[in-house]
Structure 1
Amino acid sequence: MSMRMTGMFSGMDTESIIQELVSAKRTKVDTQKKAQTKLEWKQDAWKDLNTKLKNLQSKYIANMRFSDAYSKKTTKVSNSSAVSVITGEGAVNGVQTLEVSRLAKTAYLTGGKIQSSKEVTALTTLGDLDATLGDDFSGTITVGAGDKQKTLNIDKNTSISTVLNTMKEAGLNASYDAGQKRFFVSAKTSGEDGNFSITSGDASGQKALKMLGISYDASAESTGKSDDEAAAHYTKGQDAEIYLNGAKFTDSTNVFEINGLTFTALSATAPGETVTVTTEQDTDGIYDMVKNFLKEYNSVINEMDKLYNADSAKGYEPLTDDEKESLSDSEVEKYEKKIKDALLRRDDNLSTVNSALQQIMSGGVEVGGKTMYLSDFGIDTLGYFTAAENEKHAYHIDGDSDDASTAGNADKLKTMISNDPDTVISFFTSLSQKLYGKMTDLSKSVDGYRTFGNFYDDKKMKSDYEDYTSKIKELEKKLQDYEDKWYSKFSKMETALAKMQSNSSAVTGLLGGS
C-alpha cells in the first residue's frame, strides 16, 4: 500500500478525489457481491423446496407404490374385557367365535410365617430357629423346577440365604421378607410346565421345611383362606385355554398367535358366553393414507406455484453494508424479502418438476383394462375461479370433513374403499409408481450440474458461487492497486510542492525577504 499524504501543500481534498476516481471500480465489486448473495439465497430457497419434494417421495409415494402398504386390516371384538386382538398381515377377513375357558397361572408359593420370637434374617440358621438341634442333625432338601433338581445337604448351620440360593439355582424366583418372616417363591414362566416342588425324603429335611414355613404338598393346590399363619400356600401353574370356532387351544401364556391374529386372553368368559371376533379391511387406514398423501402433495404443489408465479423483483438488488446503515432493521428485512420471494420466479427447473407432477396426477391409470382418474374416486381440483390463488392444482376429497370446500359432497372414496378396495389399491399403487419413477428421473445425477437426489442444479450453483468468490477477490485486488496508484501520484505531487515551497522560502531568505 502506498504512503497516503493529505493535501497539506496543495490544499486539495485528495481523499475525496481519489474515492471518486475509484468509485466506478468499487461498483463492479459490489455488483459481483450482490449477484453472489442472490445466488446464495436462491440455493437456500431450492434446498428448502428440495427437502419437501424428497419428503413427499420418500415418506408417502415410496410406500404407496406397493400394494402391501394398503393391506391393512382391523379386528373388533364384542367383549374387549375378555380378549384383545392384534391384526397381523396374514389375517383373513371374517367373523369368528371365541371362548376363554381359563387364564394362565404362574406357580407360586407363599411361605408360612416362621415361628420364632426372635428376629429372623437371611443369615439366620436352622440352629438359631431351634436351639435343640445338635451336631448330629443332618438331612437333605430337594428343589425341583422342570427338569432341574437341586439337592441341598442341611445341618444346624444351614442358613436361610443358603436355602434361597438353592431355589434360585433350580431356576426359581425366590426371596425372603424379614419383616413378614416368609419365603416367597415363584416359577419364572407361567403355565403347567412351571410347577415346582420343595421336598425332603428324610425326617430332618421335613422338619427343616416346616421350621422355614415351606412345607407343602405340591400335588394339591391350596384353596380358600386360612387363619393359620404358619401354613404355606401353593398355587399351581396352569395353561391358558381358549376355544376358537369350537377348536381348543392351550398355551403356557395368555397369548395365542393363530392364523395372523394375536389373541391375548384377559379374563374368562361366563359359561355359555361367546365373544364375536370380526376381521375386516381397515377402510379408515387406507383413507387416511390417501388423505395424508394428498395433503402433503398439495402443500408442495401450492408452494411451487407460489414460487413460480411470484411478483417480479426487478430493480431490487441485495443491499451493501453502507446501504443498510441508512435503513431500519425492519426496512432491510422487508426489502430483502421482496427479493427472496422472487428468486424462483419463472425458474426452469421448478417449471419442469411442477409440470411433471401435475401431468401424472391429472393423467389416467389403467385398472383392470379400464382407464381411471382421480376424479373417479371423488378426488379433484377446484374450479379455476373457485380455487384460491396458487392453489389451482391442489386436490380435494369429496366428503372430507376437514375440507370446507368439499365436506358437503358425497364421500365417494370411502365408499369405494369399503365396496371395492382392490380397485382403489390398484389405482393408487400404479399412480404412486408413476410418480416415484418420474421423481427419481428428475433427481438423477447430472455431471457438473446435479447430485443424485436433488431436483435442482446444486453442483452448478456451488461452482458458480465459487467463481463469484474468485472474481470478487480478483476485482478487490485490482481496486486496491488502482487506489494505491492514485494515492502514490498525489503523494508525489504533495512532495514536489513541499520541495518547491522550501526552495522558495530559501530564495526569499537570501534576498532579505521577510
Structure 2
Amino acid sequence: MPIRLSGMSSGLDTDAIVQALVSSYSTTKTNLEKAQTKLSWKQDAWKTLNTKVYSFYTGKLSAMRLSSSYSKKTSSVSNSTIAKVTASSGAVNGNQKLIVKQLASAGYLTGGVISATKDGEKASVTGSTKLSEITGMGDYANGGTLKVKATASGGTKTVSLTSDMTVNQFVAALKDAGLSANFDSGNQRIFINSKTSGLDGEFTLEGADGNGTGALKALGLLTSSEAKNNYSAVAGWTDADVVANAKSAYNSKIASYNKTIQSYLAGNSSLKNANETTLAYRKEYAEIYAAKLSYEDTYDADGKLVSQTATAASRAEAFKAVNEKIDALKNSDRKKELEDRKAAGEKLNDTETAELDEFNSRIAAAEKVAGDLGNDTLLVTRTRKETVNDDGSTTAVMEDNDIDKYIKGISSAIKTNEETIASNMEAIYNLHKEVDSSFDKTSFDADSATEDNALITVDFAEGDTLDAATAANSANKLASDLIASYKAQREEAKTKLAQYEEAQKKADAGQASAADNELLGIGSSSGSAAVRITGQDAIIELNGATFTSNTNNFSVNGLTIQALSVNSASDPVTITTDTDVDGIYNMIKDFFKEYNEIVNYMDEKYNASSAKGYEPLTDDEKDAMTDTEIEKWETKIKDSLLRKDNTLSTISNSMKTNMLKSYEINGTKYNLSSFGIATLSYFTAGDNEHGAFHIDGNADDSQTSGNTDKLRAAIASDPDTVVEFFSKLTTEVYNDLTKRMSRTNLSSAYTLYNDKQMNTEYSNYSTKISEWETKISEKEDYYYKKFSSMESALSKLNSQQSSLSNYFS
C-alpha cells in the first residue's frame, strides 16, 4: 500500500472520506469472506462426521457382515499348571484329553571354572585375557581347531585358535559358528547354549585334533563323556593318522610362520626406506641448517660460560641456506625434464621414476626442516648445567637447545629403526631354526632378505610308515616335534582310557565319577568340570495322538497349546472347548455402542439450535471482544452448520430404517426386538437419543439392565440364527452406505457429502474476493487522485495569496 500525505492544504481527513466512499465495496468483500469462512467450517463439520461413519463402515460394520467374525471359541483346562490353551474359530466343541510327556529345552554347556597364569602367578580371567594365558592351555591354542555343529545353522563349522586370541574373541567365534555364548567374569566360566530350543537347535562342540581337545579342556568346556569320546578317537589313531595329523599341523604352522615373515619383511622395507630417504634427507638438511648457526656466549661474574644463544642473523642465514636447497631442487632442469615428459604421457623407466621420487622426497624433507627449525617459538639457547660428582667435584655441560634436540631426534629415530630391523631379522632367523636347527643365519641378511629367500620352503617329508616318516623328517625339527607330539597324544589317550576302564570296575560310584574327572585332567573336588544338558523337543499326547515341537507351543486342529509342565498318563488334563458366548455378545454390544454414538451425533447436529443472526467475526469485531466471547460466538455458528441439512437427514433416516428391517430365517421372521434390542420410548430417551438401540439385560446400560437378556440366551441356545440375522442386517446397512459413499461428479469416493462441490464453491469465493479487492483498490486510487488534484489547486491558491499579502505589506 502506498504512503499518502493527504489534506495538507485542505485540512480534510482524506483517508476517512475515501474509506467512506468505498465502504459499499468493502462491505460486499467482507460478506464474501464471511460466507467463505462459514463454508470452510461446514466442510470441517462434514469431514468430522464422514470420518466417524467411514471408521464404523470399515471397522465394526464390515466385520459384522462376515460369519467368520462370529466364530469365536473359548477353551479351558482342568489343570492350568500343566498347560495353557486358547481356541481359534476352527476348534471343535467338546472335551479332549491332554498328556504333556516332555517339555522342550535348549542345549546347554556350562563350562568349568577357569583361571589364568600371568608372570608365574595365578590370575583371574577377563574378556581380554589371551588364550595362551589360560592355565593349562600350554601350546594347545597355537593352531588348535574346534568343530562346531549347530543344527539350526546347518553343517559343521571350524573355529581356529591362536595364542593371541582373547576370551572375548573366542566367544565371538563361537557365536559366528551358530551358538549363543558368553563369558561370565564373576563366575569365571564360559556358558554356551543353542540358539533355539528342541532337537533342531542341538549342537556339538569338540576338538578337531589333539590341540583342539586340549584347548577345550583348558577352557573348562570338555565334559567327561566328550573326553571319553575324544580320547577314544585319539587312542584309535593309526600310524597313518599320526603322520597325517602331524603333516596338517606342520603345513598350518609353516603358513603361519611365512605370514609372520612377510609381515616382518614388509616392516623392514618400510623402515629401511625411511632411514635411507625421509629421515636421511631431514638429517642432511638439518645439519646444513645447524652449520650456518653462530652462537653468542654469555658469562657470569666469575667468567664461567653460562649460556650460548644462536644469533638471529645466523638463524636467518641458516633458514636461507635450506631454502636455497629447496629452490635448487624445485628448479632443477633434470626434475623439470622428467616432469614434462611424464605430463606429456611418456612412461618413465624405473631409474627415472626413482630419480623423480628422490627429487620430491628431498623437497618434502627440506620443507619439513625449514618449517620445524624456522619456528620462532623454538628454544635456541644452550644453558650451562652443573652436576656434583661423588667426589664433590662438579661437571659442567651445556644442555641442548631445541635445534640440537631436533637433529639428535632424527638420529635416534634412524637408530631405532635399525634396531627394529635387526630385531625383526632375528625373529625371522628363529622361525627358520624352529624348522631347521642347523639353519645358517648368514644365508641372508636385512639387505638381501626377500620373499624368495626368506620364506620357509622346507616341506614335510613323506614316508610310507610312521617310522619312515619319522626318519625322513629327522632333520626337520618342527616336523619331528609334531610327529612325536601326536604319538604322545595317542599314548596318553590309551593310558587315560585304561585308567577309566579300571575305575569303572570299582563298585563305588563316587570313585567312578572321580575317574571321569581324572580323565579330564582335573581334580574330583575342584568343581571345574563342564556340565552338558542336551536339547530336547516337547512331546504331548492329545486324544491318544502324539505331537512333537521344538518349542513348548503346539497348534492342533484350532487349539493353541502351551505346555507348562509334565503330567502322567494316569492323570490327563481335560480341555473343554465351547462357543464363546461372551465374545459374540461383546462384539454385538460394541457394534451398537459405536452405531449409537454416530446416530446420536447426527441427530445432535441436525437438531442443533439456530444461529440466525450470527456471522463469522471480522478482525475489527474480534478486537472488541475477549477470547472467551469469540470462542462462544464461533462455537454457536459451528454447532448449527448441519442444522436441518437434507443430506444429513437422508443418511440418518436411511441407517435407522435399515436397522428396523426384518429377515426370515428357517421360516421365522426376526428383527432386533426378537433379541431384546430396541430404541427407548419417546419420553424415556434423552435428547437426540431417540435413534439409539438398547440391549435388554446389558449390565452397562442403566435403562435396560434389569430386563431379560434375550440376546445372550439366543447366542447360547441358537448361535447360528443369531449369526445369520446380524450378518444380513449389517450387510444391508453396509451396502446402503457403500452406495451413498460412491464417487459422483459432486463427491469423492467414500464420502457422504458433496466435497467436490464445496471445494468449487470455496474456490469461487476466493476468486470473487480477489475481484472485489481489485475493485476497492481501483476506486481508492480514483478518489485519491481527485483529492490530490484538489490539494494541488489549493496549494497554488494559497501560494498566490501569500505573494499578494507580502506585496501589500
Q: Same fold (TM over 0.5)?
A: yes
Deviation string 1:70-112 (CA, Å, 9 cap, x unpaired) is 1121211122221112323321122111121221233323233
From 729, 736, 751, the counterpart of 1:431: 729
Structure 1 position 351, deviation (Å): 1.3
Matched, 1:355 2:653: yes
Quickly say closer, same or farther: Cα 1:7–1:251, change in 2 above 3 A: closer
The match for 1:94 is 94
One-letter identity of the residue aligned with 1:37? T
Alignment of structure 1 residues 85-234 onto 2, 5 Å: 85-114=85-114, 118-119=122-123, 123-125=130-132, 129=136, 148=155, 171-177=178-184, 180-192=187-199, 196-197=203-204, 210-213=217-220, 214-217=222-225, 229-234=527-532
Give the root-mean-square deviation of aligned CA atoms.
Answer: 3.8
Structure 1 position 380, deviation (Å): 0.9
Quickly say closer, same or farther: Cα 1:365–1:7, change in 2 above 3 A: farther
The match for 2:264 is none
Contact 1:318 1:336 in 2 (8 A): yes
One-letter identity of the residue aligned with 2:21? L
Structure 1 position 491, deviation (Å): 3.4
Point out the structure with max Rg over C-alpha. Answer: 2
SS of the residue 2:225 aligns to: coil
Matched, 1:5 2:6: yes
Quickly say closer, same or farther: Cα 1:301–1:112, change in 2 above 3 A: same
SS of the residue 2:790 aligns to: helix
Alignment of structure 1 residues 299-338 onto 2, 5 Å: 299-338=597-636
Quickly say closer, same or farther: Cα 1:188–1:15, change in 2 above 3 A: closer
Matched, 1:491 2:788: yes
Name the CA distance, whole Å, in 1 between partners of 2:572 and 2:211.
53
Name the CA distance, whole Å, in 2 between partners of 1:285 and 1:229.
56
One-letter identity of the residue aligned with 2:609? D
The match for 2:68 is 68
Deviation string 1:368-387 (CA, Å, 9 cap, x unpaired) is 34332111111111101111
SS of the residue 1:445 aligns to: coil
Structure 1 position 294, deviation (Å): 1.2
The match for 2:779 is 482
Length-normalised TM-score, structure 2:
0.56
From 256, 261, 273, the counterpart of 2:554: 256
From 740, 744, 755, the counterpart of 1:442: 740
SS of the residue 1:256 aligns to: strand
Contact 1:2 1:484 in 2 (8 A): no
The match for 2:30 is 30
Quickly say closer, same or farther: Cα 1:7–1:243, change in 2 above 3 A: same
Matched, 1:465 2:794: no
One-letter identity of the residue aligned with 2:786? K
Quickly say closer, same or farther: Cα 1:130–1:309, change in 2 above 3 A: closer
One-letter identity of the residue aligned with 1:484? D
Quickly say closer, same or farther: Cα 1:218–1:89, change in 2 above 3 A: farther
More helix by share: 2
Quickly say closer, same or farther: Cα 1:462–1:272, change in 2 above 3 A: same
SS of the residue 2:576 aligns to: strand
Name the CA distance, whole Å, in 1 between partners of 2:8 and 2:144.
119
The match for 1:416 is 714
SS of the residue 2:224 aligns to: coil
SS of the residue 1:432 aligns to: helix
One-letter identity of the residue aligned with 2:60? Y
Name the CA distance, whole Å, in 1 between partners of 2:160 and 2:790.
117
Quickly say closer, same or farther: Cα 1:498–1:313, change in 2 above 3 A: same
From 369, 378, 394, the counterpart of 2:692: 394
One-letter identity of the residue aligned with 1:323? E
Name the CA distance, whole Å, in 2 between partners of 1:159 and 1:504.
110
Matched, 1:382 2:680: yes
From 560, 580, 583, the counterpart of 1:285: 583
Q: Percent identity?
A: 45
After alignment, is 169-178 or 104-113 more displaced? 169-178
Quickly say closer, same or farther: Cα 1:366–1:500, change in 2 above 3 A: same
Contact 2:148 2:177 in 1 (8 A): yes
Deviation string 1:454-498 (CA, Å, 9 cap, x unpaired) is 111111111111111111121222223223333333333344444
SS of the residue 2:776 aligns to: helix
SS of the residue 1:35 aligns to: helix
Note the residue ranges of structure 1 that are not aligned, 5 or more in a row: none
Length-normalised TM-score, structure 1:
0.86
SS of the residue 1:414 aligns to: helix
Quickly say closer, same or farther: Cα 1:28–1:243, change in 2 above 3 A: same
Contact 1:398 1:406 in 2 (8 A): yes
One-letter identity of the residue aligned with 1:190? S
Quickly say closer, same or farther: Cα 1:339–1:151, change in 2 above 3 A: closer
Contact 1:209 1:215 in 2 (8 A): no
Structure 1 position 411, deviation (Å): 1.4
Quickly say closer, same or farther: Cα 1:165–1:44, change in 2 above 3 A: closer
Name the CA distance, whole Å, in 2 between partners of 1:142 and 1:17.
102
SS of the residue 1:129 aligns to: coil
Quickly say closer, same or farther: Cα 1:433–1:219, change in 2 above 3 A: farther
One-letter identity of the residue aligned with 2:130? L
SS of the residue 1:343 aligns to: coil
Structure 1 position 270, deviation (Å): 5.2
Name the CA distance, whole Å, in 2 between partners of 1:160 and 1:22.
91
Quickly say closer, same or farther: Cα 1:336–1:509, change in 2 above 3 A: same
Quickly say closer, same or farther: Cα 1:329–1:267, change in 2 above 3 A: same
SS of the residue 2:131 aligns to: coil
After alignment, is 421-430 or 263-272 more displaced? 263-272
Name the CA distance, whole Å, in 2 between partners of 1:155 and 1:509.
118
Structure 1 position 311, deviation (Å): 1.5
Note the residue ranges of structure 2 that are not aligned, 5 or more in a row: 229-508, 515-523
Name the CA distance, whole Å, in 1 between partners of 2:3 and 2:206.
107
From 614, 625, 642, the counterpart of 1:344: 642
Structure 1 position 153, deviation (Å): 9.2
Deviation string 1:384-410 (CA, Å, 9 cap, x unpaired) is 111111111011111111111111111
Contact 1:3 1:488 in 2 (8 A): no
